[in-house]
Structure 1
Amino acid sequence: MAVDELDTRILRLLLEQPRTSVREYARVLGIARGTLQARLDRLERDGVITGTGPKLSPAALGHPVLAFVHIEVTQGHLDEVGDALAAVPEIIEAFSMTGGGDLLTRVVARDNGHLEDVIQRLIQLPGVVRTRTEMALRERVPHRLLPLVESMGRAAAEKQGKQAGRAAAEK
């Protein structure tokens, strides 16, 4: 979905000030509340906005160890293993992958011993052939979407500028 300059401004506010009211967002943006609500509804309907909950810190919740566990799966058992991963609370994300493993999971743990226990649990799942674990040392770039949104907004503004220039030239 393409976002325009106003969508970009809306998304920036949502990311930077997630606890602000719709009325306040409309005031800051200088647009009608109905216009803002229509935009928000469209962004949700199109799957751009997927949630509004708080961002939690596993480390602050007592799970400071972060590891990425690659899981190789017996052919034909990817769905079953994927479903089984959902029952492991320390797995906070899991993706089907190409390359060296079939699944990549993001795992949090209280300490290294707890991480080993989680990995042992994964190894015992039916359909798991082997795992490979890589421990994160320090987060260098936190999960972020604002730079992407801003670049899309700039591209949309440039496109609108070019279209307006062509339309003016044709007159």
Structure 2
Amino acid sequence: MIDALDARLLLLLAREPRIGVLALSRRLGVARGTAQARLDRLRARGVIRGFGPEVDPAALGYPVTAFATLEIRQGRGEQVRAHLARVPEVLELHTITGQGDMLCRLVARSNADLQRVIDQVVGFEGIVRASTAIVMENPVPLRVLPLIEQAAHAARD
């Protein structure tokens, strides 16, 4: 849980990611040390995971996005994770329930290049089967601002 000040801090950072601690403290109406302490605590708790730039893979030459559901051999999860971590086009990996064992978000330079990426992903003996879906459009990109706003509202109540 976060309190109202944490929520305001997170909202401000989400809207203005390049804001400095001094400006952050002034906008929040708190001492610089308080703002820094809150930032440090939120980072330590894993609420804030980083301050890096948000990079668009398409702008780097990877306009094709796909999701691959993988079925893996029992007892090979650790090795499959290590294998997939070495494939640069694997942007995310989740273990899941339901159909399949893992879900990966992949990128590629083209549909033909996607085949190369998939071959590299499944070219590991711990992966039994893969099912891939190509993303046509991303009308709601990854976002957390609505969650921060909801948490801020809950912190005020």
Pair in the same fold by TM > 0.5: yes
Aligned structure 1 segments of 4 or more residues deviating by more than 6 angstroms: none
Give the Cα separation in 2 of the matches to 1:150 and 1:3: 11
1:149 aligned partner: 148
Give the Cα separation in 2 of the matches to 1:49 and 1:151: 16
Give the Cα separation in 2 of the matches to 1:132 and 1:75: 18
Q: Quote how far apart the aligned CAs of 1:124 are.
A: 1.4
Letter in 2 for 1:3: I
1:48 aligned partner: 47
2:118 aligned partner: 119
Secondary structure at the aligned position of 1:71 is classed as strand
1:130 aligned partner: 129
Give the Cα separation in 1 of the matches to 2:89 and 2:123: 16
How many correspondences in the alignment? Answer: 157
- Structure 1 residues 146-170: Cα deviation after superposition (integer angstroms, max 9, x where no partner): 1111111211211xxxxxxxxxxxx
For structure 1, which runs of at least 5 residues remain unmatched after alignment? Answer: 159-171
- Structure 1 residues 58-95: Cα deviation after superposition (integer angstroms, max 9, x where no partner): 00000000000111101111111111001100001011
Alignment of 1:20-35 (within 5 A): 20-35=19-34
Letter in 1 for 2:127: V
Give the Cα separation in 2 of the matches to 1:5 and 1:60: 37
1:88 aligned partner: 87
For structure 2, which runs of at least 5 residues remain unmatched after alignment? Answer: none
TM-score (norm 2): 0.97
Give the Cα separation in 2 of the matches to 1:24 and 1:132: 48
Give the Cα separation in 1 of the matches to 2:102 and 2:13: 32
- Which structure has the larger Rg over C-alpha atoms? 1
